[in-house]
Structure 1
């Protein structure tokens, strides 16, 4: 039986699994540490050079290529009715943590799920991307070079339908963040280490660069940095505050190139955050504004999105003794408070969890999972629809199977036809479901 993941750095979640493998056929189923002048300073630096690939070609199944167009047909059904439900037949040793943003839908409807693959238990593991049909059939898997421990933090789909996987390796006894790029057909384009070691939870693409929000590995200074995807070279970095003051964890990049960052700050005696910290950073790395919102103690921020009405929305989850979920909104122009809305609270038998804000054309859709305490079993999922003005419009229970396994959370994305796609589970027992828009 798998054990719980290790925490090697603030906001860095490690999924445990190891070694390259392949599956053929379908299966049912502050100051900058580089010499800046203080908080808000930014600087550029040279990167590590040209991208490298693994010495031995990574294992890749024969996967269907994408034309870059839309799927030929969209599923039909009443709004929120189930379109499909499947327990995935994943290869042995594959683990996909649903505490990470590890699922995207490609242009042709295929679903990519990032995780790690274990071949020699407790010895080595490799980053892996599993490719699924919309119905939950396993089409194949790509793995890259193994190392002692691999943390897969985020999977993103680029504008050309390629995939960018943010990962961190521990080998030997050193955290080494990097990015792995895959072509739409699943073949590896290259993996590069990042020029500077920034670890954290916030990761988004900005054209041919990636923006990371977290901490400098050596100094613990809260940092936002932009890197070139192909080379790992740092474009700029900016320090947000002094060490141990804030933990930046969420990033939004706008089409105009502006960057918004959210995080927790000002811990109390129980190590809970008491302030939501927000920043707007221009595309050149200069901080435009910073905002602090005092809140009841909370454990973490789980989602952050820009709304079409010029606001930013953030999900806040309470500490262990009060895991209430709250939705906050601020004005993107200056970070001033706009509205707040309590979404869900725990009771004697269940606790809620939400980690996605789906921005639809007319409202926010927020899948809220309820489980036994300490995530021991999935009980239910309901979508809470919230207007852009902060009004709860409706609560829609979804037809999802209760799952008995420990460690269940959910990843939620919209498909190419606006269907809701949910991934729930931990380790081998992963469940995929889709629901009509």
Structure 2
């Protein structure tokens, strides 16, 4: 085992510079081609490990020798100077067990598959309403602003109990918080504003509870308003930004491969088609950060205690051994009939995405309904990708029908 890098450290986060716009920045698969664990350098100049192999990514995300606690003094951060923004009350995804598990259990029931299945009629109503408004009296639209953003925003507002009329505000704030080009001061201001907003909303929910997630959290004696706000920020930001970008990216990719759109029309193949889109379009291009708590042998190197690692979901999800095979296209190509169920788009281990049943339901309903109701849907101009965000996506997608 060795800790000595054999190639120059890759500066993180890598930028999109050529290559397929639906894939990760080319620097990541290039690093993966040299080995499953390679050296990288963070914006503040500290070295870390880039973990690109699927087996190694699964180890990092499931082995308790790797910590998700952002308060660790050497936790890897992708914005220089951002360490000063870390508070004593991070959201539970940035904590280890037992505190992570304690807070997560409070929300598990809200996102169980059985619970999400009861929401399907309401999600269908929201999708149909968005398409009604988009198509009313016209034959062109920007699919991002007219469909991909409103649908998950309406869904998450309904679940959390956040007034939808505030969606422009929280979308603006979440974009700032997810923008890797934001300054520390911009991040601080956005973080404070969204936390203040949710603390005020939590106080109103405590006084006048309704049938929503925030009301149920606000009523708990074992959570402070700061705790509820931290959980609310996580759910609000993750609940609309990720799904909105997946809807837009999936639509754009399917429009490039119209021969595969029929896979969405069959209830037997629709779920698998969505899993393939999640695998191929893995929108967390920058990876999931962890820090080693002790020395760990990983992919031919020794990761020392205190060293940071970035678990690269996007490269792991294109592993030929896991997702290739006879009868299927290469793993950097779309194949809606591929068995992609073991993908890591939602992470892996105890910290994997709590809301994945909801995300799957939204994607299945949104994409099936979109292509069924607008069978003549096609591109109508220059599309623009959002490359500055930690959540990869699209800024605009002009379409006509």
TM-score range, shorter chain: under 0.3
Under a length normalisation based on structure 1, what TM-score does the superposition of the two structures give?
0.24
Q: Which structure: greater helix fraction?
A: 2
Normalising by structure 2, we get a TM-score of 0.26
